[in-house]
A and B are shown apart, each in its own frame.
Chain A
Amino acid sequence: MSDVPLVPEIKKPFYRLGEKEGLMSWVATVDHKLLGLMYMASAFLFFVVGGLEALLMRIQLGTARNTFLSPEIYNQIFTMHGTTMVFLVVIPLMLGSGIYLVPLMIGARDMAFPRLNALGFWLLFFGGLLLYYSFVAGGAPNGGWFSYAPYSERAFNTTYGIDYWALGLFVQGIGTTLAGINFVVTILAMRAPGMKLTQVPMFVWTTFINGFLIIGALPPLNAALVMLLVDRRLNGHFFTPESGGSSVLWQHYFWAFGHPEVYIMVLPAFGMISEVLPVFSRKPLFGYNAVAISTIAIAFLSYAVYAHHMFAVGLGPGFEAFFAAATALIAVPTGIKIFNWVFTVWGGKVRFTTAMLYCISFLFLFTIGGISGVTFAIVPTDWQSTDTYYLVAHMHYVLFGGTFFAVSGGIYYWFPKATGRLLSERHGKIQYILTFVGFNMTFFIQHFLGLMGMPRRVYTYPDYPLWGLFNLISTIGAFILAFAILYLLIMIWWALRKGERAGDDPWDAFTLEWATSSPPPIQNFDIIPPIRSRRPLWDWKHPEDPDWKRDQSGKQMSMQRSDEV
């Protein structure tokens, strides 16, 4: 275990993005680096809002029969919390990190369509504002993040909340689609000379597959939202069973988007893990091909499992058997990835930086979330545990313990690249411990609450034995977690002003983005190292032992310790 390597004294003048033109250089930019950071900033803005909504819910649920929030307000708050976190936080985090990193990792000047890139960001941002405008337009949506029909129809939901929900998500959905198209084309057509598609960093691979997932999965959402709006504003009959429509159709369309969406929210996080673990283990990624192929398998399977969200509907045994089997099957490629990551770390010279701690925690927390996910594949179990806090715990383990822990690791890892300054490792470790404790305290206990029968989305509960205590523990955990996020934001603010200068390559990394200065200049690269393997920067720094020589000797690249020379 060693600390961050000593940073050589840096004499170059410190270059700051957007320094010269002020705010206008951000608003009018089409540069992928500024847009990527704007995605991240916008995601954190909405993260704070969504987090405050979560705290309001946890205060309300802190004790039995609490009257802090009225049922009406509670419904709006949990709907906005879920919608915000899914569409305005996790998706922008995934898109933003890809938009920032992919061109740097493949040695390109920018994304394939820079102006489309800017359009995508602004659609996403203003879609979010449109959603939040509902609060002043007569009440926020209250149908949960999947707004099941017919409750979302105008007969039962007369305010404009659902309309703003549908419009806002439609606008942000178009923005997300544009980003997905941009990823696919960028990675296909803009790789540096000599870089094969089988040589791109794993983060680029997962973002590539993510682009295809977005292209296939966002249109069902957009179609469903359009149909809902036709129902609500033109008195249509798509989802109204009393006049020939079908409310189950909404569920099919929504989850045909909703389940691939789960993987849209986690595949780039897998990619981040696959970048950070090798660097801090001083080994190449174990089984690059297996990780890449399992990513493709997940993408295909993700369309074939969506109806496991609908077991409680009663679709019939054949239907249920198919989706149960597919759901159990998707655990296989995910498990392959977990093993690959474990073997990446195994036997390496591990450096426990904050980024590494987050990524190792990811392995544990995501596995817990994955295992509770498999229990939902078993239909009778699902009937018992669906719509309870067991499900709430499961999805927070995959989305927070999974995606957000990976993103946190990614922030600690790439922050020096984006800003030229290091986040404090000492405070980082405190922040990590706070997040880890707060997260597990909040959500682990919700498994038990769910199995004890506490339904999700209730604004309060009777004073059953242990329910009050467990909920109070969860609430205290939520506040610790909120404090940890505040701590991170303060650390970022401080590091931006006075953080230690990072240098171009503080982690002694392997991939191209570390071959340029930190922060990268507007043109990204002055020179690009020759690309003859998956770790071009390693080859460049170690001309005596480049990966591509070992590859030709017939050894399997992933099985060796190329640092043992």
Chain B
Amino acid sequence: MSVTAHADTTVHPNEPGTPMGKPELGILAFLGTEAVFFGLLILSYVYFRATDNSTPNAHVLDVPRTFIFSLCLFASSGTVVLAERALKRGNRRGLVLWLIITVLLGLTFLAGQGWEYAELFGENITPSRNTFGTSFFTMTGFHGLHVFGGLVMLSTLTGLAAAGDFKGPHSAAVTCVSWYWHFVDMVWVVIFTLVYALPYLGIL
């Protein structure tokens, strides 16, 4: 009988060939499903944009204003990176500070979306108006929900960090939330380009 290896019942160290831990792999797989989900919602918007000429359509949107609010979301992707950097240096106050700024930027974006929705509803542009309304509100609504979910997670991280968790230099929780936040941000890059920027520039 050859040598037996003892089963490690508490910790499973990662394989040498696996560069990432379980949380990182898990969040990547999760973002994969989310990418397909959003991809199809965006595809349905593009499809109706190409096949249905009814008005109102994307030209009723206030592009410059949404651009400013979008900048807040794009910037928040940068601040969350700064938060990670602060964590890496063991700077807990920096971590808390940058997380708070990230949350505030995200809230600003959501407020902008709420403003936009309120105006559109005021003009009777709703999900039941036409295919533009249906696909626009479904797509941006689900994005907004994901931003909200991200804010809940970021706020939780902020609270935990303020209470003394995350001594650094690495935390899987911070990394995963940050990746999720980048993902939400990238989805908005696609939506903003397709729905706001290209029609505004007269391309789509």
Q: Which residues of A contact B (CB under 8 A)?
A: 107-109, 112-113, 116, 177, 180-182, 184-185, 188-194, 211, 215-216, 218-220, 222-224, 226-227, 230-231, 234-238, 243-246, 249, 253, 256, 523-530, 539-540, 543
Residue B163 at the chain A interface, CB threshold 8 Å? no
| B36/A219 in contact, CB under 8 A | yes
Interface size on B, residues (CB 8 A): 45
Residue B52 at the chain A interface, CB threshold 8 Å? yes
| B127/A215 in contact, CB under 8 A | no
Q: Which residues of B contact A (CB under 8 A)?
A: 1-10, 12, 14-15, 18, 20-22, 25-26, 29-30, 32-34, 36-37, 40-41, 44, 47-48, 51-52, 54, 126-128, 130-131, 133-135, 137-138, 142
B39 to chain A, nearest CB (A): 8
| A530/B29 in contact, CB under 8 A | no
**With a CB–CB cut-off of 8 A, which chain A residues contact B34?**
219
Which one of A112, A244, A523 has the greatest number of beta carbons of chain B within 10 Å? A244
Top 8 closest pairs, chain A to chain B, by CB? A235-B128, A219-B36, A236-B134, A244-B52, A525-B7, A219-B37, A223-B40, A181-B29
| B33/A181 in contact, CB under 8 A | yes
* Additional 4 contacts, C-beta under 8 A, given A193-B5, A219-B33, A219-B37: A109-B10, A180-B29, A185-B25, A236-B138
| B29/A215 in contact, CB under 8 A | yes
Residue of A185, A234, A256 touching B26 (CB-CB under 8 A): A185
| A540/B1 in contact, CB under 8 A | yes
**Please, how many angstroms separate the alpha-carbon atoms of A116 and B176 in the complex?**
15
**With a CB–CB cut-off of 8 A, which chain B residues contact A227?**
41, 44, 138
Q: List 17 A-B contacts (CB under 8 A).
A: A108-B12, A109-B12, A181-B33, A182-B26, A185-B22, A185-B25, A188-B18, A191-B15, A192-B5, A218-B33, A219-B33, A223-B44, A236-B138, A244-B48, A530-B2, A540-B1, A543-B2
B41 to chain A, nearest CB (A): 6
| A528/B5 in contact, CB under 8 A | yes
**Please, how many angstroms separate the alpha-carbon atoms of A220 and B54 in the complex?**
26
Q: A219-B34, A220-B36 are in contact. Are A523 and B9 (CB under 8 A)?
A: yes
| A246/B51 in contact, CB under 8 A | yes
**Please, how many angstroms separate the alpha-carbon atoms of A191 and B26 in the complex?**
16
**Please, how many angstroms separate the alpha-carbon atoms of A245 and B128 in the complex?**
12
**Please, how many angstroms separate the alpha-carbon atoms of A109 and B137 in the complex?**
45
A491 to chain B, nearest CB (A): 33
**With a CB–CB cut-off of 8 A, which chain B residues contact A219?**
33-34, 36-37, 40
B49 to chain A, nearest CB (A): 11
**Please, how many angstroms separate the alpha-carbon atoms of A387 and B142 in the complex?**
36
Residue of B7, B25, B130, B142 touching A192 (CB-CB under 8 A): B7
Residue of B7, B18, B135 touching A238 (CB-CB under 8 A): B135
Residue of B18, B137, B138 touching A189 (CB-CB under 8 A): B18
Q: Which residue from chain B places its CB closest to the CB of A539 in the assembled complex?
A: B2
**With a CB–CB cut-off of 8 A, which chain A residues contact B18?**
188-189
Q: Which residue from chain B places its CB closest to the CB of A184 in the assembled complex?
A: B29
Q: A185-B29, A527-B4 are in contact. Are A237 and B131 (CB under 8 A)?
A: yes
**With a CB–CB cut-off of 8 A, which chain B residues contact A245?**
48, 52, 131, 134
B25 to chain A, nearest CB (A): 5
Q: Which residue from chain A places its CB closest to the CB of B36 in the assembled complex?
A: A219
